[in-house]
């Protein structure tokens, strides 16, 4: 099966700093791909490239075979690549219903509010539809972000640390939700620090360190990879220092 979304040789340089170096990735419908790596490894930059907020210096991003890396963010979203943010982003004073309707409005859906209700129901916030986003708890705001993205009817959903700051119960809920979305045929790319979450729901994992992909494979395979252990635990520091 050909990949729905594919990144080929993605390289991003900010001045002298190389944030991403020759990164390949591919994700298909109904698949969960996790991107892990230490802080500052380039995971969020990778998301920014895929969603059009950062243009890659080299390389391409293909959606269903179409190059999207030079398109503005709103156009990429309308083609079906939608993200959530690491720092919670909601439409503060608007009602959940009005805010979640945004993605449906953007696609000129004839009934945006109906799409918004469906999305709120999926994440379990329908009973709070008339509250404003800023009235919600932090955990509910993270779910709201997911609803916002779902109402845009994504084919590829990028989730930037959806379980961060969540308690055990809340993150279990997120894991269930992601599983449900996968069965609906969404391609999901996940950045997540919570390793329990990653190991539980990923079909494949890629590991990035200092902007380079250092490993890729099934969760168990990646967890056992010595390069990954080194990147995370920093073994052999002395060896590097002398190298």
Partner 1 sequence: MTRHRLATAAVCVALFAVPLAVHDEYYLHLCIVAGIFAIAVLGLDLIVGYVGQLSLAHAAFFAMGAYTSALLFVNFKWSMWLGLPAAAILTGVIAFVLGSVILRTRGHRFIIITVVFAELMKLVATNWVDVTRGFMGLPGLEIPKLYVPGLGAIDIASKAHFYYVVLVVALLAFLLCRLIVRSSIGRKFVLIRENEALAESLGISALRYSMIAFAFGAVLAGAAGSLYAHYVGFVSPDLFNFSYVTIMLIMVILGGKGTLVGPALGAVIFTFLPELLREASHWRMIIFATILIVATLFMPRGIIFPLVEHLLPQRWRTRHASTP
* Least distance to partner 1, CB of residue 47, Å: 10
- CA dist 169 and 70 (Å) reads 40
Per CB under 8 A, the list member of 5, 27, 71, 77 interacting with partner 1 is 77
- Rg of the chain in Å (alpha carbons): 18
Residues with Cβ within 8 Å of residue 186, at least 6 apart in sequence = 29, 30, 154, 155, 156, 157
Q: Tokens for 170?
A: 């809340």
Q: Which is nearer to partner 1, 92 or 185 (CB)?
A: 92
Of 112, 162, 211, 219, the residue at the interface with partner 1 (CB under 8 A) is: 112
Region 178-207 residues binding partner 1, contact defined as CB under 8 A: none
User: What ranges make up the beta strands (E) of 144-240?
Assistant: 156-160, 187-191, 204-209, 212-217
**In the set 40, 67, 74, 234, which binds partner 1 (CB under 8 A)?**
74
Smallest gap, in angstroms, from Cβ of residue 92 to partner 1?
A: 6
Report the C-alpha gap between 63 and 27 in whole angstroms. 10
Residue carrying structure tokens 């920014």: 48
Instruction: Say whether residue 82 binds partner 1 (CB under 8 A).
Output: yes
Q: List the interface residues with partner 1, window 42-71 (CB under 8 A).
A: 51
Nearer to partner 1, 157 or 215 (CB): 157
Q: Does 105 bind partner 1 (CB under 8 A)?
A: yes
The C-alpha atoms of residue 141 and residue 165 are separated, in whole angstroms, by 11
In terms of CB distance, is 18 or 86 closer to partner 1?
86
Please report how the helices 112-123 and 138-151 are oriented relative to each other, as an axis angle in degrees rounded to 10: 140
Residue 21 CB, nearest approach to partner 1 (Å): 25
Q: In the complex, which residues of this chain contact partner 1 (CB under 8 A)?
A: 51, 72-75, 77-78, 82-83, 85, 89-94, 98-99, 101-103, 105-108, 112, 148-149, 151-152
């Amino acid at each position: 099966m050909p990949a729905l979304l594919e990144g080929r040789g993605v390289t991003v340089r900010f001045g002298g700093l190389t944030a991403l170096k020759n990164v390949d990735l591919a994700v298909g419908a109904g698949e969960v791909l996790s991107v892990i790596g230490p802080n500052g490894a380039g995971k969020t930059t990778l998301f920014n490239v895929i969603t059009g907020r950062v243009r890659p210096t080299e390389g391409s991003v293909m959606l269903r075979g179409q190059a999207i890396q030079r398109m503005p963010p709103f156009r990429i979203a309308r083609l079906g690549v939608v993200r959530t943010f690491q720092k919670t982003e909601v439409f503060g004073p608007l009602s959940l219903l009005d805010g979640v309707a945004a993605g449906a409005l953007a696609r000129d859906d004839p009934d945006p509010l109906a799409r918004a209700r469906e999305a709120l129901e999926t994440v379990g916030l329908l009973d709070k539809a008339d509250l404003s986003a800023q009235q919600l708890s932090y955990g509910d705001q993270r779910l709201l972000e997911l609803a916002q993205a779902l109402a845009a009817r994504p084919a590829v959903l990028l989730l930037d640390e959806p379980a961060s700051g969540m308690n055990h119960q809340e993150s279990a809920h997120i894991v269930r939700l992601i599983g449900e979305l996968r069965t609906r045929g969404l391609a999901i790319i996940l950045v997540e620090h919570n390793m329990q979450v990653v190991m539980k729901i990923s079909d494949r994992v890629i590991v990035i360190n200092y902007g380079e992909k250092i490993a890729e494979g099934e969760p168990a395979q990646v967890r056992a990879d010595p390069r990954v252990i080194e990147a995370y635990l920093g073994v052999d520091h002395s060896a590097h220092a002398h190298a």
